[in-house]
Amino acid sequence: MSFDDIFDASYDRVLLASPDNTDFFEAFYQRFLSSSPEVRMLFRNTDMSVQRSMLKKSFFSLVAFYASGTIDDVLRRIAYLHSSRELNIKPYLYDLWLECLTDTVRVYDPEFCDEVELAWRLILSPGITYMKFGYDHF
């Protein structure tokens, strides 16, 4: 089974799971916000339901970038908005973001294992690298 297939199957499982009646993306943000005072400060005036919706859309752009190697308009705009010129989201926060995401996958995917974690990291890393690169380049 390819890492693409492993990721796809895991993603399907996490979307179906709802421990404590909390969907995957909501649980991720709960974990991410509790991970750092800096993260909490960045989201202090954010409508989190809108933010979760935006994450779902941008998440597909991250996956599409891995699959196609092409940066779509959504990913380009998000990288620009997160750059030092705009929201000033520091590059190291993407590593924390990915750690919180994989920790959430660990809870939501009953078949979570090293291969699943690696699949998530491999699929999302190219887009995250693009976001980090954009910090000083937009």
Tens digit of pLDDT at every position of the chain (138 positions) = 999 999 999 999 999 998 888 999 999 999 999 999 999 999 999 999 999 999 988 999 999 999 999 999 999 999 999 999 999 999 999 999 999 999 999 999 999 999 999 999 999 999 999 999 999 999
Task: Say whether pTM exceeds 0.85.
Answer: yes
The Cα-based distances of 50 to 10, 29, 69, 76, 125 in angstroms read 24, 12, 27, 19, 24
CATH superfamily, with its number, for domain 3-137: Globins (1.10.490.10)
- DSSP designation for 136: H
Q: Which residues contact 63 (CB under 8 A, 6 or more apart)?
A: 7, 123, 124, 127
Residues whose CB falls within 8 Å of the CB of residue 60, separated by 6 or more in sequence, listed in order: 74
- Candidates 100, 123, 124; CA nearest to 28 is 100
